[in-house]
Protein backbone atom coordinates (compact mmCIF):
# COMPACT_ATOMS: atom_id res chain seq x y z
CA UNK A 1 0.00 0.00 0.00
CA UNK A 2 1.35 3.37 -1.01
CA UNK A 3 0.27 6.48 0.85
CA UNK A 4 1.50 10.01 0.33
CA UNK A 5 2.88 12.83 2.47
CA UNK A 6 1.92 16.45 1.84
CA UNK A 7 4.20 19.12 3.30
CA UNK A 8 1.61 21.85 3.72
CA UNK A 9 2.05 25.47 4.76
CA UNK A 10 -0.50 26.49 7.40
CA UNK A 11 0.30 30.18 7.06
CA UNK A 12 0.58 32.52 10.06
CA UNK A 13 -2.60 31.35 11.81
CA UNK A 14 -5.56 32.99 10.11
CA UNK A 15 -7.46 30.19 8.33
CA UNK A 16 -8.55 32.67 5.65
CA UNK A 17 -4.90 32.85 4.56
CA UNK A 18 -4.70 29.13 3.78
CA UNK A 19 -4.46 28.19 0.12
CA UNK A 20 -7.50 26.46 -1.35
CA UNK A 21 -5.39 23.35 -1.85
CA UNK A 22 -4.20 23.32 1.76
CA UNK A 23 -7.79 23.51 3.04
CA UNK A 24 -8.86 20.69 0.71
CA UNK A 25 -6.03 18.43 1.85
CA UNK A 26 -6.88 19.05 5.50
CA UNK A 27 -10.47 18.00 4.87
CA UNK A 28 -9.38 14.73 3.25
CA UNK A 29 -6.32 13.78 5.34
CA UNK A 30 -6.10 10.55 7.31
CA UNK A 31 -3.33 11.90 9.54
CA UNK A 32 -2.28 15.48 10.37
CA UNK A 33 1.15 15.93 11.94
CA UNK A 34 1.18 19.59 12.92
CA UNK A 35 3.55 22.17 14.37
CA UNK A 36 2.86 23.58 17.81
CA UNK A 37 2.19 27.06 16.42
CA UNK A 38 -0.54 25.97 13.99
CA UNK A 39 -3.73 27.65 15.20
CA UNK A 40 -6.78 25.82 16.47
CA UNK A 41 -8.87 27.52 13.79
CA UNK A 42 -6.73 25.91 11.09
CA UNK A 43 -6.77 22.49 12.78
CA UNK A 44 -10.55 22.62 13.02
CA UNK A 45 -10.68 22.26 9.24
CA UNK A 46 -9.27 18.72 9.44
CA UNK A 47 -11.56 15.77 8.80
CA UNK A 48 -13.36 14.62 12.00
CA UNK A 49 -11.94 11.12 11.60
CA UNK A 50 -8.37 12.30 11.03
CA UNK A 51 -5.63 11.52 13.54
CA UNK A 52 -4.15 14.81 14.79
CA UNK A 53 -0.73 14.73 16.42
CA UNK A 54 1.26 17.69 17.68
CA UNK A 55 4.90 17.22 16.64
CA UNK A 56 5.98 20.79 17.31
CA UNK A 57 9.25 22.04 18.72
CA UNK A 58 8.98 25.46 20.34
CA UNK A 59 11.38 27.92 21.96
CA UNK A 60 14.17 25.38 21.86
CA UNK A 61 12.12 22.76 23.75
CA UNK A 62 12.30 19.52 21.79
CA UNK A 63 9.44 17.34 22.92
CA UNK A 64 9.96 15.22 19.83
CA UNK A 65 13.11 14.81 17.76
CA UNK A 66 13.24 15.43 14.03
CA UNK A 67 14.09 11.80 13.30
CA UNK A 68 10.92 10.77 15.18
CA UNK A 69 8.85 13.11 13.01
CA UNK A 70 10.44 11.61 9.92
CA UNK A 71 9.63 8.12 11.19
CA UNK A 72 5.98 9.02 11.77
CA UNK A 73 5.55 10.44 8.27
CA UNK A 74 7.12 7.42 6.64
CA UNK A 75 5.30 4.92 8.87
CA UNK A 76 1.83 6.37 8.26
CA UNK A 77 2.42 6.73 4.52
CA UNK A 78 3.66 3.12 4.37
CA UNK A 79 0.26 2.07 5.69
CA UNK A 80 -1.36 3.64 2.66
CA UNK A 81 -2.55 6.74 4.49
CA UNK A 82 -2.77 10.33 3.29
CA UNK A 83 -0.52 12.31 5.62
CA UNK A 84 -0.55 16.09 5.95
CA UNK A 85 2.60 17.41 7.58
CA UNK A 86 1.19 20.80 8.56
CA UNK A 87 3.88 23.39 9.08
CA UNK A 88 3.49 26.93 10.38
CA UNK A 89 4.02 29.53 7.66
CA UNK A 90 5.67 28.01 4.61
CA UNK A 91 7.19 24.51 4.64
CA UNK A 92 10.45 25.68 3.09
CA UNK A 93 11.12 28.76 5.23
CA UNK A 94 12.75 27.86 8.58
CA UNK A 95 10.55 24.80 8.83
CA UNK A 96 13.04 21.96 8.33
CA UNK A 97 11.23 21.13 5.14
CA UNK A 98 14.48 20.27 3.41
CA UNK A 99 15.36 17.69 6.07
CA UNK A 100 11.94 16.06 5.79
CA UNK A 101 12.15 15.97 1.99
CA UNK A 102 15.51 14.20 2.26
CA UNK A 103 14.04 11.59 4.64
CA UNK A 104 11.02 10.97 2.39
CA UNK A 105 13.19 10.58 -0.69
CA UNK A 106 15.48 8.16 1.09
CA UNK A 107 12.48 6.05 2.12
CA UNK A 108 11.00 6.25 -1.42
CA UNK A 109 7.80 7.82 -0.06
CA UNK A 110 5.70 9.87 -2.45
CA UNK A 111 5.34 13.49 -1.35
CA UNK A 112 4.16 16.91 -2.48
CA UNK A 113 4.87 20.43 -1.24
CA UNK A 114 2.04 22.93 -0.80
CA UNK A 115 3.34 26.45 -0.09
CA UNK A 116 1.90 28.74 2.56
CA UNK A 117 2.04 32.41 3.51
CA UNK A 118 5.26 32.78 5.46
CA UNK A 119 5.09 34.84 8.65
CA UNK A 120 7.23 37.69 7.32
CA UNK A 121 4.75 38.44 4.55
CA UNK A 122 1.74 38.25 6.87
CA UNK A 123 3.43 40.41 9.50
CA UNK A 124 4.46 43.08 7.00
CA UNK A 125 0.98 43.16 5.46
CA UNK A 126 -0.71 43.43 8.86
CA UNK A 127 1.56 46.30 9.89
CA UNK A 128 1.36 47.93 6.44
CA UNK A 129 5.15 47.83 6.04
CA UNK A 130 6.41 47.32 2.48
CA UNK A 131 9.34 44.93 2.67
CA UNK A 132 10.78 46.51 -0.47
CA UNK A 133 10.27 50.06 -1.71
CA UNK A 134 12.23 51.74 -4.47
CA UNK A 135 12.67 54.80 -2.25
CA UNK A 136 14.50 52.73 0.36
CA UNK A 137 15.62 49.25 -0.77
CA UNK A 138 15.05 46.72 -3.52
CA UNK A 139 15.99 43.65 -1.49
CA UNK A 140 14.79 41.73 1.56
CA UNK A 141 16.58 39.08 3.62
CA UNK A 142 14.99 36.48 5.89
CA UNK A 143 17.15 35.29 8.78
CA UNK A 144 16.51 33.39 11.98
CA UNK A 145 17.58 34.48 15.42
CA UNK A 146 18.34 30.82 16.22
CA UNK A 147 21.05 29.16 14.15
CA UNK A 148 22.58 25.74 14.28
CA UNK A 149 26.10 25.87 15.68
CA UNK A 150 27.64 25.02 12.32
CA UNK A 151 25.72 27.72 10.42
CA UNK A 152 26.35 31.10 12.00
CA UNK A 153 24.84 34.09 10.24
CA UNK A 154 27.20 36.72 8.81
CA UNK A 155 25.32 39.78 10.05
CA UNK A 156 27.86 42.21 8.64
CA UNK A 157 27.36 40.82 5.14
CA UNK A 158 23.58 41.07 5.49
CA UNK A 159 23.63 44.66 6.73
CA UNK A 160 26.09 45.79 4.05
CA UNK A 161 23.57 44.99 1.30
CA UNK A 162 21.13 47.65 2.50
CA UNK A 163 18.32 45.10 2.35
CA UNK A 164 15.37 44.99 4.70
CA UNK A 165 16.19 42.35 7.32
CA UNK A 166 13.39 40.22 8.73
CA UNK A 167 14.42 38.22 11.80
CA UNK A 168 12.33 35.16 12.60
CA UNK A 169 12.41 33.98 16.22
CA UNK A 170 14.34 36.96 17.65
CA UNK A 171 14.14 35.44 21.15
CA UNK A 172 12.78 36.72 24.44
CA UNK A 173 15.47 39.33 24.97
CA UNK A 174 16.16 41.59 22.02
CA UNK A 175 19.47 42.98 23.26
CA UNK A 176 21.38 40.15 21.61
CA UNK A 177 19.90 40.87 18.17
CA UNK A 178 20.45 44.61 18.69
CA UNK A 179 24.12 44.04 19.52
CA UNK A 180 24.61 41.91 16.42
CA UNK A 181 23.03 44.55 14.19
CA UNK A 182 25.03 47.40 15.74
CA UNK A 183 28.28 45.41 15.60
CA UNK A 184 27.60 44.68 11.95
CA UNK A 185 27.59 48.41 11.23
CA UNK A 186 23.90 49.29 11.26
CA UNK A 187 23.06 52.75 12.60
CA UNK A 188 21.32 52.91 15.96
CA UNK A 189 18.77 55.25 14.34
CA UNK A 190 17.60 52.56 11.93
CA UNK A 191 13.87 51.95 12.52
CA UNK A 192 12.55 48.51 13.30
CA UNK A 193 9.23 46.92 14.19
CA UNK A 194 8.42 43.99 16.45
CA UNK A 195 5.30 42.19 15.25
CA UNK A 196 3.70 39.68 17.58
CA UNK A 197 1.13 37.05 16.57
CA UNK A 198 0.70 38.42 13.06
CA UNK A 199 -2.74 38.10 11.43
CA UNK A 200 -4.43 37.02 14.67
CA UNK A 201 -6.85 39.06 16.81
CA UNK A 202 -4.05 39.24 19.40
CA UNK A 203 -1.61 40.89 16.98
CA UNK A 204 0.57 43.64 18.44
CA UNK A 205 3.16 45.89 16.78
CA UNK A 206 5.81 48.01 18.43
CA UNK A 207 8.05 50.47 16.59
CA UNK A 208 11.48 51.33 17.88
CA UNK A 209 15.04 51.80 16.61
CA UNK A 210 17.97 49.43 16.59
CA UNK A 211 19.62 51.53 19.30
CA UNK A 212 16.58 51.22 21.58
CA UNK A 213 15.67 47.65 20.66
CA UNK A 214 17.45 46.12 23.63
CA UNK A 215 15.16 47.91 26.08
CA UNK A 216 11.93 47.00 24.27
CA UNK A 217 9.53 44.86 26.34
CA UNK A 218 9.21 41.21 25.39
CA UNK A 219 6.23 40.52 23.15
CA UNK A 220 4.27 37.24 23.05
CA UNK A 221 5.57 34.59 20.64
CA UNK A 222 5.56 34.08 17.76
CA UNK A 223 7.30 37.38 17.06
CA UNK A 224 9.13 38.76 14.04
CA UNK A 225 11.49 41.71 13.80
CA UNK A 226 11.52 43.90 10.69
CA UNK A 227 14.62 46.11 10.38
CA UNK A 228 15.14 48.83 7.82
CA UNK A 229 14.05 52.20 6.49
CA UNK A 230 10.89 50.62 5.05
CA UNK A 231 9.44 50.55 8.57
CA UNK A 232 8.94 54.30 8.30
CA UNK A 233 6.43 53.79 5.49
CA UNK A 234 4.15 51.91 7.87
CA UNK A 235 4.71 54.31 10.76
CA UNK A 236 1.46 56.27 10.42
CA UNK A 237 -0.73 53.15 10.35
CA UNK A 238 1.18 51.58 13.26
CA UNK A 239 0.87 54.77 15.29
CA UNK A 240 -2.87 54.96 14.67
CA UNK A 241 -3.45 51.32 15.65
CA UNK A 242 -0.95 50.87 18.50
CA UNK A 243 0.30 54.27 19.58
CA UNK A 244 3.95 53.50 18.83
CA UNK A 245 5.77 55.99 16.67
CA UNK A 246 8.76 56.17 14.34
CA UNK A 247 9.21 59.32 12.28
CA UNK A 248 7.85 58.75 8.76
CA UNK A 249 10.08 59.27 5.73
CA UNK A 250 10.26 62.60 4.01
CA UNK A 251 8.98 62.66 0.47
CA UNK A 252 11.83 62.93 -2.05
CA UNK A 253 12.39 66.44 -3.31
CA UNK A 254 11.53 66.97 -6.95
CA UNK A 255 13.44 69.37 -9.15
CA UNK A 256 10.54 70.89 -11.08
CA UNK A 257 12.95 72.67 -13.42
CA UNK A 258 13.92 69.29 -14.82
CA UNK A 259 10.33 68.39 -15.66
CA UNK A 260 9.52 69.40 -19.19
CA UNK A 261 6.20 69.53 -21.06
CA UNK A 262 4.54 66.13 -21.35
CA UNK A 263 6.63 64.61 -18.56
Cis before 169? omega within 30? no
Q: What backbone torsions phi and psi does residue 85 show, to the nearest 5 degrees? A: -90, 100
What residues contact residue 187 under an 8 Å CB cut-off, 6+ apart? 210, 211
Give CA 151 to chain center in angstroms: 19
Out of 4, 30, 57, 133, pick the active-site residue. 57
Active-site annotation holds for 90: no
Active-site annotation holds for 35: yes
Out of 14, 35, 87, 90, pick the active-site residue. 35
Task: Kindly list the catalytic residues.
Answer: 35, 57
Amino acid sequence: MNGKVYLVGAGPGDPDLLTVKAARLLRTADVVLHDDLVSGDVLSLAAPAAVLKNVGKRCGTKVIRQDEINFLMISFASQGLRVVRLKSGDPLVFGRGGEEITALRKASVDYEIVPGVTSALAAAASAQIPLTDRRATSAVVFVTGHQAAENKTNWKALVSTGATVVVYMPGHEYSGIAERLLSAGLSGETPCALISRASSPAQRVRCTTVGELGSAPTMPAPTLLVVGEVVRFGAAAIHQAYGAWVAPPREPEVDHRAIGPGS
